[in-house]
Structure 1
Amino acid sequence: MHETLPRQRPRSPMLPLAAALLILFNLCPGGALAAGTTPERAPLQATGNWTALARGHAPLPPMGWASWNAFLTDLSEQRVMASTRALVDSGLARAGYVHVNIDDGWAARRDPATGRLVVNTERFPSAATPGGNSFKPFADRIKAMGLKPGIYTDIGYNTCGQQANSPGDIARSPRGTLAEKSIGMRGHVAQDIDLFMGEWGFDYLKLDACGLAMYGPESRPVKERGYRMVQPWIDVVSPLRTDIAGVRNAYDEVGRALAKTRPANDFTYSVCVWGDADSRTWGQHVGNVVRTSLDIAPWWGRMLHAFDSASHRALYARPGSWNDPDMLHIGHGEFDAGHLTEARTHFAMWAIINAPLLIGEDLSRTPASLLAIYGNTDVIALNQDKAGNQGTLAYDSHDIQIIVKQLADPSKKGVVIVNRTGSAMSADLTAAHLKFDAAAPVRLRNLWSKASSSFTGETSFRLEPHESLTFEASGERELADGLYLSEMPGRVHVADDGIVVPQADPTVYRSINVWAGTRNGGERPQYMGWGGAQVDMTPYDGALQVNGKGYRTGIGILAGSRMEVKNDGQFSRFTAEVGVDDGTRNSRDAVVFEVYGDGRLLASTPLLRWGQDARALQADVAGVKVVELIARQVGTEGGAGNLVVTWGKAALGAVRPAAALGREPKQEKSAMDWRKTQLPGNRARQTMSSPGRTIG
């Protein structure tokens, strides 16, 4: 049976997104924008509200155990319970590892008469109940141990395990009619959610996307094994051929069903689209855990690939929704007990960027050396710090990275220094990396060796191949009475990042595809998000600079953007130096910067253009719950591209005399006045751009 899934818009040979773009951009022959036209977007409106995801429960990154990296589809109740018992007996459960997530391989079939999923009782014998078939005894057994059971399914008709081609995977796949083999969620969303999260009592749902990507007419599962053909919604090679809106809406439908079944929001929802379909952008609005890359593997290069997919996305994660570079692969390959340096580095890198800490090995066989890594409570504390700030790249290169994370204690930072190479390297750590006062002592506590040290200004380290150093740093803050926004990404919600056309992120390390080897031309993942909001750099990975003046700290973003900052009355003053960044490809149009507090305009700039000095911008935010930062693009030069703008030194602080802040900025025109003075059209415009190239 061949089927095209119901879609949000009519299909075309180029897929709906392509058709929509042709209409949206009014393209002329040759691909240029029609004269005098610019892509239009919904007006940027201050809402006065914190609109980040409130559905589900993930105030901190989830911790636990997951079956996939350990067993793939060859899982069983005995194996799962052995690792579950080891979580408890080893003390890891007390350290916070409370989720027990079974992945693909548990379902026997779907009952065609009732639509109900049937558990494979050969693998999970407790599911053979007097009343028929139920996962509730299994889930209850895990809960009785003080843990939280999790389950897996797919957004399409079929799962990832069903499309695998190994003899073992094929033998373990559901058999029967087309309806019986359709164990994915498509067409059964409400029924399956009620079953999983209601009747059976699971607390965590991982939702994969193979059913939307890997069952096309030429796929082996369809051609050789008779699975239902689905014209792919996701093309992992071409963003233009991916139905981004359709994929998002399908995942959001499941999120709404979860909230309906569990109105107390006592569930965790893992969106697993592997960074495709622009999920690194919209996932924060839908899921509590959002995969940022294709699967990890137990090889160093593949670990770097997964890490890079999340490490530049600090402003797209916060309490309630976390970036997920995939499950830990400690215990296998280049991260096994014979590679403790690599295993510690893998763990520290995941911890510092607030990745979920989901153990992926058979814990019943884990040696003490690896249990000690999982159980390092100091490193766990970095990951579980209540402020929820993802670590950011204070120094970034292909060789050495320094990742710094602001902790809930304003005087403390988490620090991980990583040697990504296979050679010994030196690294300098400075007070400036930590945003600490360079004249004051900085104290370091090594979270592996527990040794303490101190330095003033800077210090140097020698790192062996693949080695990392993990510290808690204490010192006097560079900004004595507040925090830079770049230090607290967990308080920032990028409601609109100004991107018009999603583009692939070129900063992700490209490793050998361990499944295909070097048989093809190389893996070129299309993880969209290039041009997204960044900490201490421009959206295109450049240094922040306005008219020749550099900014070591700030937020880089495109015009046509709106950010929400959770203030909750804790700070009294917002300050920044704002302007068009020198790295913009558009030197024609202008931008207006606006600051709102709980929906009320507090401060704004006049029209600013490329080549003009940055303007000081400050606002009294005493008592304000939500500060909103809007950058409106203004102009009539169609096709000139989105302006790259900088919120330099953007910070929240306590009220102090104006003299201490520098010269009081001159009163500027109201943020509304620019509409009266702009060129004809009286409309803010956003245009399409890519670095190094303008369209039109």
Structure 2
Amino acid sequence: MGWNSWNAFGTDIDEEKVIASAQLIVDSGLAAKGYRYVNIDDGWWAKRRQADGRVLIRTDNFPSARTADGNTSFRPFTDRLHAMGLKAGIYSEIGRNSCGQIYGDPAGPGQPAGTMAEREIGLYGHIDQDIALYFGEWNFDYIKVDGCGIRALAADSPQVKSGRLRALDPLIDYDTIPRTNIPAVKGLFDQVGQALSRNKPGNDFVLSICLWGSADVRSWARTLGNLSRTSEDISPNWERMLHNLDSASRRELYAKPNSWNDPDMLFIGSGEFDDAHLTEARSHMSLWAMLNAPLIIGFDLRKASPAMMGVLGNAQVIALNQDAAAHQAVLAYDGDSVQIFTKTLADGTKAVALFNRTGSPIDVKLIASHLKYRADQPITLTDLWDGDTKSFANEMPVHLERHQTLLFKASGTREHAQGLYLSEQPGNVNPAVDGIVHPMADPMVYRGLLPWRSTKADGEHPVYGGWGGARADATPFAQTPKIAGKTYHNAIGTLANSRLEVRNTGFSTFTTLAGIDDSVADPTARVRFSVHADGKLLKQTGWMKPGDAPAAIAVPVKGAKIVELVAEGNHPEMQNVAVDWAEAALDR
């Protein structure tokens, strides 16, 4: 949680703006509610000194960075933030040149100066040196690392052909996933992670990986970074918010404690989330809270109204976002018009968000099974925005205004009284190997108009890798799990040749019905399922074919820390064979 300068100021940043924002975070009480990180984004650098490779700071914008020897230092700046009880964040780029340099106005504010080499202020070729400077010498706590420089500077790009920037063969082909050099991209970020660990003992840092869902970042960032961007930049309009939401909302198994899906900053306070759009602002905040998305304010807080500060500072919604169980919400109902998200909380209760994506009012029903609660027992709901309480059994009619999200904390009697379904605890389920052979673009993400491109292209096409990944209560391809003609609403859906690591938090037994999903059309596909506890094989099925009844598995796991669920295909390159761990649960 915190604040970032980019959405408010772009590259036109300076010390006064940042410190004023930090002071407002403290004075308003937002810091006490958890907003601690104050992050400067692109635009702070002057140049890279060629004699020794040191990055220098724009001291006209950050006067406290002046030093007698000309080296410049952010240490007085970070010391000041730390003295305020805050954390300090900085921005860099994994390539040679930043996004602001590549896509911004060369004559605009915050652009590095000097020769072509002096303007290469990114980490590329300087990872160890720069990380040691930013974290060892300057004492930053957080770094956002962009990837524009390994995406946009092919030899035929306008920036290179003009002679302004040097070519760097792209490692990321944003529009064509198979052309991306995934190992090379991951290798660069591995180096960043290693350098951070050397300079911040105890891993006391935050690494924000900003690759916009490319380079199969979903599958590896959770073991390296603390935040992983799932989409392109957000904008202060409703359609763009839907786009960014969708890029993260079906990745519930790819987030875990201290490693979160990041659909980008909050744009509350601006555009279609300003004071005239309080319903939209609350929806934006509610949805990011349900996703456990980082709550990073992207607004000039000097202009914030009491109403906007109230949205950002709602203690109940913040607590939902920061809940210790760390489970991202799961889609209990997924449609183009309405979505219902549910989330298991650390105190054993649930949260539920009913979201109207459309511009018209709509009537829906919340049913007990959305919450995995018994229909014959009372369910109590507390509205996290107005505090109202209501109860129902079985089902409840709900009216949603245009763009409205109703957000409740819910308590009731669980359907599965003796434990938890795995789909109720996605933060404990890690797709260590998800079975994807070739990453594919996710077609479920809302394709709104890109504000910076309008209709100059031939349409907005799926670009974010993520289709076919493991899911809670859905198959990898967004269908309801079904085995041998029977539908299962409680399941983990994944692919053949996958391995799931389930963190056991004190349960004694694992049970499931494992089988090949009915969506599989290949009659030659064969899969066998096995369950392991801390590396020890507990149960293995025979080879199963499409249409076979599921295999019932019940094994003791008391004392085990990790329960592994393995679905082995009869061919190592088997693709898109969906399998289900139906009714998968850990029981006491």
With the length of structure 2 as denominator, give the TM-score of the two structures.
0.98
The answer to whether residue 564 in structure 2 is matched with residue 628 in structure 1 is yes
Q: Which moved more, 1:559-568 or 1:221-230?
A: 221-230
2-structure distance, mates of 1:440, 1:81: 53
Unaligned runs of 5+ in 1: 1-62, 655-696
Task: Look up the equivalent residue of 1:549 and give its one-letter code.
Answer: K
Deviations 1:470-518 (A, max 9, x none): 0000111111121000000111111000011111111100000100111
Question: Which residue of the other structure, out of 434, 438, 456, is the alignment partner of 1:519?
Answer: 456
Match of 2:314 in 1: 376
Question: Which residue of the other structure, out of 151, 159, 166, is the alignment partner of 1:228?
Answer: 166
2-structure distance, mates of 1:66, 1:117: 21
Mapped contact 1:586–1:640 kept (Cα < 8 A) = no
Match of 1:455 in 2: 392
1-structure distance, mates of 2:364, 2:311: 24
1-structure distance, mates of 2:488, 2:347: 25
Match of 1:648 in 2: 582
Structure 1 residue 575: Cα displacement: 0.3
1-structure distance, mates of 2:53, 2:105: 28
Mapped contact 2:64–2:77 kept (Cα < 8 A) = yes
What is the DSSP-based 3-state SS (H/G/I as helix, E as strand, rest coil) of the residue aligned with 2:117?
helix
Structure 1 residue 422: Cα displacement: 0.5
* Residue-pair matches, total: 587
Task: Look up the equivalent residue of 2:570 and give its one-letter code.
Answer: V
Match of 1:329 in 2: 267
Match of 1:196 in 2: 134
Shift of the 96–364 alpha-carbon distance from structure 1 to 2, 3 Å rule, reads same
Structure 1 residue 585: Cα displacement: 2.9
Match of 1:45 in 2: none
Match of 2:92 in 1: 153
Mapped contact 2:496–2:574 kept (Cα < 8 A) = no
Mapped contact 1:283–1:290 kept (Cα < 8 A) = yes
Mapped contact 2:222–2:255 kept (Cα < 8 A) = yes
Match of 2:554 in 1: 618
Match of 1:144 in 2: 83
The answer to whether residue 29 in structure 2 is matched with residue 95 in structure 1 is no
Match of 1:470 in 2: 407
Mapped contact 1:284–1:322 kept (Cα < 8 A) = yes
Shift of the 87–639 alpha-carbon distance from structure 1 to 2, 3 Å rule, reads closer
Mapped contact 2:159–2:165 kept (Cα < 8 A) = yes
Task: Look up the equivalent residue of 1:340 and give its one-letter code.
Answer: L
Task: Look up the equivalent residue of 2:480 and give its one-letter code.
Answer: A
Structure 1 residue 285: Cα displacement: 2.0
Task: Look up the equivalent residue of 2:310 and give its one-letter code.
Answer: A
Structure 1 residue 642: Cα displacement: 4.0
1-structure distance, mates of 2:212, 2:264: 9
Question: RMSD across aligned C-alpha pairs, in angstroms?
Answer: 1.2
Bigger relative contact order (CA 8 A; separation at least 6):
1
Structure 1 residue 235: Cα displacement: 1.1
What is the DSSP-based 3-state SS (H/G/I as helix, E as strand, rest coil) of the residue aligned with 2:494?
strand
The answer to whether residue 220 in structure 2 is matched with residue 282 in structure 1 is yes
2-structure distance, mates of 1:422, 1:168: 40
Structure 1 residue 643: Cα displacement: 2.2
What is the DSSP-based 3-state SS (H/G/I as helix, E as strand, rest coil) of the residue aligned with 1:201?
coil
Match of 2:324 in 1: 386
Question: Which residue of the other structure, out of 247, 261, 274, is the alignment partner of 1:309?
Answer: 247
The answer to whether residue 544 in structure 2 is matched with residue 608 in structure 1 is yes
Structure 1 residue 224: Cα displacement: 2.8
2-structure distance, mates of 1:501, 1:309: 19
Question: Which residue of the other structure, out of 113, 119, 132, is the alignment partner of 2:51?
Answer: 113
Unaligned runs of 5+ in 2: none
Match of 1:446 in 2: 383
Match of 1:134 in 2: 73
Structure 1 residue 639: Cα displacement: 7.9
What is the DSSP-based 3-state SS (H/G/I as helix, E as strand, rest coil) of the residue aligned with 2:90?
strand
The answer to whether residue 121 in structure 2 is matched with residue 187 in structure 1 is no
Question: Which residue of the other structure, out of 595, 617, 621, is the alignment partner of 2:531?
Answer: 595
Structure 1 residue 70: Cα displacement: 0.7
Structure 1 residue 225: Cα displacement: 5.1
Question: Which residue of the other structure, out of 352, 362, 369, is the alignment partner of 1:425?
Answer: 362
Deviations 1:321-375 (A, max 9, x none): 1000001111111111111110000010000010000000011221100000011
Structure 1 residue 252: Cα displacement: 1.1
The answer to whether residue 176 in structure 2 is matched with residue 238 in structure 1 is yes
Match of 2:197 in 1: 259
Q: Point out the structure with max Rg over C-alpha.
A: 1
Structure 1 residue 453: Cα displacement: 0.2
What is the DSSP-based 3-state SS (H/G/I as helix, E as strand, rest coil) of the residue aligned with 2:239?
helix
1-structure distance, mates of 2:419, 2:504: 12
Mapped contact 2:436–2:575 kept (Cα < 8 A) = no
2-structure distance, mates of 1:286, 1:186: 18
Deviations 1:566-605 (A, max 9, x none): 114x000000011111011322121111110111111121
The answer to whether residue 466 in structure 2 is matched with residue 529 in structure 1 is yes
The answer to whether residue 491 in structure 2 is matched with residue 557 in structure 1 is no
Structure 1 residue 530: Cα displacement: 1.0
Task: Look up the equivalent residue of 2:581 and give its one-letter code.
Answer: W
Shift of the 604–331 alpha-carbon distance from structure 1 to 2, 3 Å rule, reads same
Mapped contact 2:236–2:273 kept (Cα < 8 A) = yes
Task: Look up the equivalent residue of 2:57 and give its one-letter code.
Answer: V
1-structure distance, mates of 2:394, 2:14: 55
1-structure distance, mates of 2:483, 2:103: 51
Structure 1 residue 525: Cα displacement: 3.8
Structure 1 residue 646: Cα displacement: 0.5
1-structure distance, mates of 2:52, 2:285: 44
Report the identity percentage: 50
Question: Which residue of the other structure, out of 88, 103, 114, is the alignment partner of 1:164?
Answer: 103
